[in-house]
Chains A and B, each alone.
Chain A
Amino acid sequence: GQSLEQPSEVTAVEGAIVQINCTYQTSGFYGLSWYQQHDGGAPTFLSYNALDGLEETGRFSSFLSRSDSYGYLLLQELQMKDSASYFCAVRGTFMDTGRRALTFGSGTRLQVQP
């Protein structure tokens, strides 16, 4: 099966940098994804890492270390609109069909304060 661990809550101030960590256990690793969800909204895709290292997309970066089964999402120059929940996710393998679907962590609620 698959399991993911991430902190339940993080608080930071506007303009700061925050890192949201994720550790995972999965059979057959295919990459680590990150999704953002604002209160009352739908999750939206942020980033994907299949290989070790840092991927940068604007103010957001995502890092992966496959040997440590660990990744993080880095948010720079925090803005109030970044207040949301952030989910890491991995593609596990379901034994009954052999197909792979996304399994999500329980989410990290980020609160950005003025």
Chain B
Amino acid sequence: NAGVTQTPKFRVLKTGQSMTLLCAQDMNHEYMYWYRQDPGMGLRLIHYSVGEGTTAKGEVPDGYNVSRLKKQNFLLGLESAAPSQTSVYFCASSYGTGENSPLHFGNGTRLTVT
């Protein structure tokens, strides 16, 4: 049982380049999330999805787009990368939003924008 899988694990981009981060979960979870983690700032929610075909903005959505075409996949896109987007990106999923629905995280994607 793989849980939440993120690809790639590492990536270096030049300013202005675009890329897509992939997230897949095999737990049949309805909810999926993209967080970014920066030193001293904890995890901040970028976008999230409450089901297939739906997406919504989190705390820091600017510069990112997402898609949830299939229930098991949640894609995060950077249209024109900026150095401020250098971060560790975590995808997570949950069955619901209640107390019995903890988040399951992937191992992260370390992105550097030069």
Given A43-B43, A45-B104, A101-B58, 10 other A-B contacts at CB below 8 A?
A41-B107, A42-B108, A43-B92, A45-B102, A91-B97, A96-B57, A101-B33, A102-B103, A106-B41, A106-B42
Q: How far, in whole Å, are A100 and B94 apart by their CA atoms in the complex?
A: 12
B45, B90, B107: which has the most chain A beta carbons within 10 Å? B45
Does chain B have a CB within 8 A of A71? no
* B68 shortest CB reach to chain A, Å: 14
A33, A35, A43: which has the most chain B beta carbons within 10 Å? A43
Q: How far, in whole Å, are A31 and B57 apart by their CA atoms in the complex?
A: 22
* A79 shortest CB reach to chain B, Å: 22
A97-B56 in contact (CB<8A)? yes
Q: How far, in whole Å, are A63 and B98 apart by their CA atoms in the complex?
A: 18
What residue of chain A has the Cβ atom nearest to residue B59's Cβ?
A103
- For A45, what are the chain B residues with a Cβ–Cβ distance below 8 Å? 102-104
Number of interface residues of B (CB under 8 A): 26
- For B108, what are the chain A residues with a Cβ–Cβ distance below 8 Å? 42
Q: Mark A65-97, 1 if CB is under 8 A from B, else 0.
A: 000000000000000000000010001001011
Residues in B lying within 8 Å of A, measured CB to CB:
33, 35, 40-45, 48, 50, 56-59, 90, 92, 97-99, 102-108
Does chain B have a CB within 8 A of A59? no
What residue of chain A has the Cβ atom nearest to residue B56's Cβ?
A97
17 sampled A-B residue pairs with Cβ under 8 A: A8-B40, A42-B105, A43-B90, A43-B103, A45-B103, A48-B99, A50-B99, A87-B42, A94-B57, A96-B56, A97-B50, A99-B48, A100-B97, A101-B33, A102-B103, A104-B43, A106-B41
